[in-house]
Structure 1
Amino acid sequence: MITRDPRRFAALAAGLAPDFGPATARAAFLVAPDGFALAGESASDNRYMAGAGAFDAPRALAQHRALHQALSATLPTACFAGHADTPDALFPNNVFATARPDAAVDAAAAPRLVVGRMRHPVRQREAARSDIRAWFTDMLGYEPVDLSGQPHPCELTGALVIDRARGIGIVGLSERCDETGARLMHEAFGLRATLLLELAAGEYHANVVLAILAGRAVLAAPAGFATPAALDALDALYPGRVIRLSAKEHAAFAGNAIALDAGTVWMSAGAGAALSDATRAALAAAGFAVRTVEMEAIEAAGGSLRCCVGEVF
C-alpha cells in the first residue's frame, strides 16, 4: 500500500509484525569528501547549505575520516574515494541504497542495489560510478534496480525514511522526490506500506527532519512537514517513542540521526549538544545511547551524519 492518508497507513502498519528483515544494517559505506566545495545547483533548494567561504575542505576530510574510524569500531565500514566533479558525493545514501525482499515471503531472495535518480545534474553524475556499482553487483552479488535513467526524482534514503523491521516507509515529497518517484522507490525497496507526506517549504529531504531508530523509536521535527499533525499517526506504531524535536534541535540536525545497532543512535556533535534533557531521557528510555562525531565542516554542505552513511542490508 502507498497512500497519502496517515490514518490508513497507521491502521495497516500497526498490524505488521517486525519480520520484514533486520532492523539495522550489517555494514556501511561512505564516500570521502574529496573535492569538497559548494555545489551551486544543490544550494538552489537546500537552505541548510552555507556560502562558499564556509567550506573548509581539509577540516571536512579530517572529520569524515574520524566518522569512518568511529563507525568502523561498530560495524564493517567501507569508504570510496570522492571526485572533484561530484562535490556532494559525500552524501551517498541519496544515490545508492540496498534492500532485501520481504524475509517473511522469501528469505533466500537476492538483495538489491537501488540506484536513485537525483534532481540536479551535479548529483546525477554520481549514479554513473562503476566502482560502487561493481562493488555491490560483482563482488557482493546484489541485483541492480536502476532508477537513475527515468525522469522522476527519487533521492532514496534522503527522501525515504524506512523502518526496516516492519518494511514500511515515509516519503517526504519535495523537488527532490515527486509522487511517481516515491512509488518507484516503494517498489524497488519492496516495502509493505509507504506514507507520502509533503515537506514544509524550505525542506529538501525527509531524513533531515525524521529518523526511525532500529524500528523502536522516532525522532521527528514537526516543523519540517507541511502538515505536522500527520506525524500523530506514528504514535500508534511507536507508542510513547515518538520524540518530537524542538526548533533548536531541528536546526542542529538532530533529526539527521541513524541507529546502526540496537542500542546506539549516531548524530553530529552539534546535534548532540542541542538535545534537550527531555530528548536525551526519551532516547535512554527507548534503549539508546547517543554517540556523536564532529561534523560542522561537513554540515556546511547542507547535510549531517546520517546523510554520509550508506547502509548495507
Structure 2
Amino acid sequence: MITRDGNAFVEFARSCVPDFGPATARAAFLVAPDGFRLAEQSAADNRYMADAAEFDATRASMQHRELHRALAQKLPVVCFAGDPATPDALFPNNVFATAPGRYVVGRMRHPVRQREATRADIRDFFGNVLGYAPVDLSQQPHPCELTGALVIDRARGLGFAGLSERCDEAGARLMHDALGLRATLMIDLAPGEYHTNVVLAVLAGRAALVCPDGFADRVVVDVIEALYAPHVAQLSAGEHAGFVANAIAVSPDTVWMSAQAGRSLSDATRATLAGAGFDVGTVELDAIEAGGGSLRCCVGEVF
C-alpha cells in the first residue's frame, strides 16, 4: 500500500507485525566532511543551513571523527573519504540506502548532490564487497532523497514519505518499491521543511519523535500516536530547532543525537525515551549542523 489516506494507512499498518526485518541496522557507513563548505544550491531550499562564514571544516572533521568513534561502540562503522567537489557528501543517507540483499541509489534534486550518486567506491563496496544488487534511481527524473525524505519503520516495513521539492509522489513510489516496503504514507511537509528526518524519527520500531509544526497537516501526528503510543514525544519548537528529531537508534538500547539536540531535550521527551527502553547518546556536532543537517543525516545504514 502507498497512500495519502492516514486512516487507511493506520488500519493497514496495525496488521503489520514486526517481522519485516531487523529493527536496527547491522552496520553503518559515513562519508568524511572533506572540503566541507556552504553548498549554495542546497542552501536554496534548506533553511537550517548557516551562512558561509560559519562553516569550520577543521572542526567539522574532528566532530565527524568523534561521531565515528561513538557509533562504533554499538556496531561496525565504515567511513568513506570525502570529496571537495561534493561538500554535502557527509550526509550520505540521502544518496545511498540498503535493504537486505540490495542497495538503492537515490535521485538528488540539486546537481551538486547528484555527483555523489556516481561514486564508484561506494557502489563497489555494496555491490562487490557485500554482494548487494543495485537499484539505481539516480537517472530517472523524480527527486527521491532516500532516508532523508523517507523515514522507515524497519521492523514492520512502514514508510513515512514527506513530500517537498526533494521528493515528489512518483519519487515516493519509487522508493517504496525499491525498498520493498509493506506500506508508505505520503505526507506534505510544512513550507520551509526540506526532509522528513528533520521532523520525524521512528526509533527501532517502538518509539517516535515528531515535530507537529514540521507537517502541513497534523494528521501525521495522529497516525504516529495511533501506531507508537505511549512512546511518542511531540516536540516543542525549541526541540525542533535543536535537531531532536534528527536522531537514530543504531542499536535497540540507545538513541543517538547531537549534543545540541541533547541539550534541547525536555524532561517529558527524555522520559518518553526512557520509558521505551532507550538511553540517549550525544556527540557534539555544531560545526556539522552548519550544513543544515545533524546526526541522523550523517548516518547511512546497512541492513
Query: Using the alignment, how far apart are the partners of 1:233 and 1:131 within structure 2?
Result: 39
Question: Aligned AA for 2:247?
Answer: A
Query: Using the alignment, how far apart are the partners of 1:134 and 1:50 within structure 2?
Result: 34
Show CA shifts across 1:216-240 (max 9, x none): 0000001000012332012221121
Show CA shifts across 1:185-239 (max 9, x none): 0000000000000000000000000000000000000100001233201222112
Instruction: Give the corresponding residue for 1:12.
Output: 12
Which residue of 223, 226, 229 maps to 1:233?
Answer: 223
- Structure 2: state its 5+ residue gaps: none
Instruction: Give the corresponding residue for 1:128.
Output: 118
Whether 2:50 is the aligned partner of 1:50: answer yes
Moved over 2 A (4+): none
Show CA shifts across 1:71-112 (max 9, x none): 111100000000000000000000000012xxxxxxxxxx11
**Which secondary structure does the structure 1 equivalent of 2:19 belong to?**
coil
What is the percent sequence identity of the aligned residues?
71
Question: Aligned AA for 1:194?
Answer: T
Which residue of 282, 294, 302 maps to 2:272?
Answer: 282
**Which secondary structure does the structure 2 equivalent of 1:237 belong to?**
helix
Query: Using the alignment, how far apart are the partners of 1:13 and 1:249 within structure 2?
Result: 28
Instruction: Give the corresponding residue for 1:79.
Output: 79
Using structure 2 for the length normalisation, give the TM-score. 0.99
Instruction: Give the corresponding residue for 1:218.
Output: 208
Are the aligned partners of 2:258 and 2:282 in contact in 1 as well (CA < 8 Å)?
Answer: yes
Question: Aligned AA for 1:31?
Answer: V
Whether 2:166 is the aligned partner of 1:176: answer yes
Show CA shifts across 1:255-285 (max 9, x none): 0000011110000000000000011011100
Instruction: Give the corresponding residue for 2:261.
Output: 271
**Which secondary structure does the structure 1 equivalent of 2:172 belong to?**
helix
Query: Using the alignment, how far apart are the partners of 1:150 and 1:231 within structure 2?
Result: 32
Query: Using the alignment, how far apart are the partners of 1:200 and 1:147 within structure 2?
Result: 25
Within 5 Å, give how 1:291-302 maps onto structure 2.
291-302=281-292
Instruction: Give the corresponding residue for 1:61.
Output: 61
Within 5 Å, give how 1:174-213 maps onto structure 2.
174-213=164-203
Matched pairs, number: 303
Superposition RMSD on alpha carbons, in Å?
0.5
Are the aligned partners of 2:6 and 2:219 in contact in 1 as well (CA < 8 Å)?
Answer: no
**Which secondary structure does the structure 2 equivalent of 1:180 belong to?**
helix
Are the aligned partners of 2:16 and 2:156 in contact in 1 as well (CA < 8 Å)?
Answer: yes
**Which secondary structure does the structure 1 equivalent of 2:228 belong to?**
coil
Query: Using the alignment, how far apart are the partners of 1:207 and 1:48 within structure 2?
Result: 13
**Which secondary structure does the structure 2 equivalent of 1:211 belong to?**
strand
Question: Aligned AA for 1:64?
Answer: H
- Structure 1: state its 5+ residue gaps: 101-110
Instruction: Give the corresponding residue for 1:103.
Output: none
Question: Aligned AA for 1:132?
Answer: I
Whether 2:89 is the aligned partner of 1:89: answer yes
**Which secondary structure does the structure 2 equivalent of 1:118 belong to?**
coil
Query: Using the alignment, how far apart are the partners of 1:239 and 1:40 within structure 2?
Result: 40
**Which secondary structure does the structure 1 equivalent of 2:197 belong to?**
helix
Whether 2:165 is the aligned partner of 1:163: answer no
